[in-house]
Amino acid sequence: MSETNETDAVSTIITQDEARADTQQMNMIQAINSALDVMMDRDPDVVVMGEDVGYFGGVFRATAGLQQKYGKNRVFDTPITECGIIGVAVGMGAYGLRPVPEIQFADYIYPALDQLVSEAARLRYRSAGEFISPMTVRSPFGGGIFGGQTHSQSPEGIFTHVSGVKTVIPSTPYDAKGLLIAAIEDNDPTIFFEPKRIYNGPFDGHYDTPAKSWAGHPDAQVPTGYYRIPLGKARTARAGGALTILCYGTMVHVVENTVAAMGVDAEIVDLRTLVPLDIEAIEESVRKTGRCLIVHEATRTSGFGAELLAQVQERCFYYLEAPIERVTGFDTPYPHSLEWAYFPGPVRIREAITKIMKD
C-alpha cells in the first residue's frame, strides 16, 4: 500500500454511530474472525497462516471457517516453527502480500524474535523504503486461564523496545475488530496481542465467581462490515477527576470493577496501542487528576509500565500530587498453583488506589 493509499484508507474511517448502524453481538473471538473475513474479502493480498489455523480453525477458533471460504492458498497450516512462520511472512510482505501469521500462544513467540527484530522491523529502514514488511502477528497472551508458565506470559514490553514494530492490545470485541483491520492495513509490522482471558467475556478479577459473557455489553455490539480504529489513539474507558489509571487488555475490566466497588472518581485510560502511544491523552488526563496508577499483568522490571511511569514523570511532574504507583505481575515465571497471587487482582489494585489517595 502506497502512502497515497494509506491516506485514502484513513479517509474511509467512519464514525462510531455510523459503524454501529448494522451490528451484531460478538465475543472477541468472533470479532477477530470477522475482521479477518472482512479484510480477506476486501484485499486478495491478505493471507492467514499459522499452526492449526486452517482446517481446525485455530486453537481458540479465531480463524474458523476462513479456509473453507478462501481456500488453502490464502489460509494455510504451517509446521511448528515460529521462526519459519515469521521468516516466510517477511518474504511475503516484501513480495507484496499482507500476511497475518498467528503464533498460537505468545509464550512461543521467542523463537521468532530474530526474524521480527532483525528482519521485519528493519526492512523499511534498511531498504530506504524500497521494501516493507506489512505483517500483523496475532497471538493470544496473558494469564487467568491456569495455563502455567508456558501459556500465560505477557511479553509486550519486549516488542515496545524494538524500533519499527507496532504493538496493539484490544480490550473489547469492538476495539479488537477495528484495531485488527487498522493493523492489517498498516505498512509496518504489528504485534497484535489478544488477551485470552477476555475472549469470551469481560473479567472483573474475581476468579472464584461465575464467568461472565459479552452478552449485553455495549462494546460487544460489533459492526458486521468494515471499520477501523486508528492505531495510536487511546480511549477513556471511564471518566473521572481524582485519579488516572493507565491500563490495557484484561486489566481494563479488572480496574473498572475495582474502581466501581470502591466508589473512587478515577479516570481509566485504555491505551489500546502501546506503540504508537497516545501520550497526549495520558498527559491530558494526569494533568487533570494529579495522580496516576499504572496496571499491567506483565512482570514489573522493565515492563511497559516503567516506560509509562517515565513518560508521566517527565511530562506531568509539576502536576502530580502523589507518587506514581504500579501494580504488575512479579519478576518470576508465571506460577500455575499461585496464579491468583501473581495476577494483579482487585486486592492489590485497591491497596494501590488507597495509598495514592492518602498521599
Within 10 angstroms of residue 27's Cβ, the number of other Cβ atoms is 20
Rg, Å, the chain Cα set? 20
Known catalytic residues are: 151
Within 10 angstroms of residue 278's Cβ, the number of other Cβ atoms is 20
Q: Which residue has the cell 455510523?
A: 18
Distance of CA 62 to the CA centre of its chain: 15
- Is the CB of residue 287 less than 8 Å from the CB of residue 317? no
Question: Assign residue 290 a region: left if phi > 0, alpha if psi is -120 to 50, beta otherwise?
Answer: left
End-to-end CA distance of the chain: 51
Residues 6+ apart with CB under 8 A from 322: 290, 291, 356, 357, 359
Q: How far apart are CA 258 and CA 204, in angstroms?
A: 8
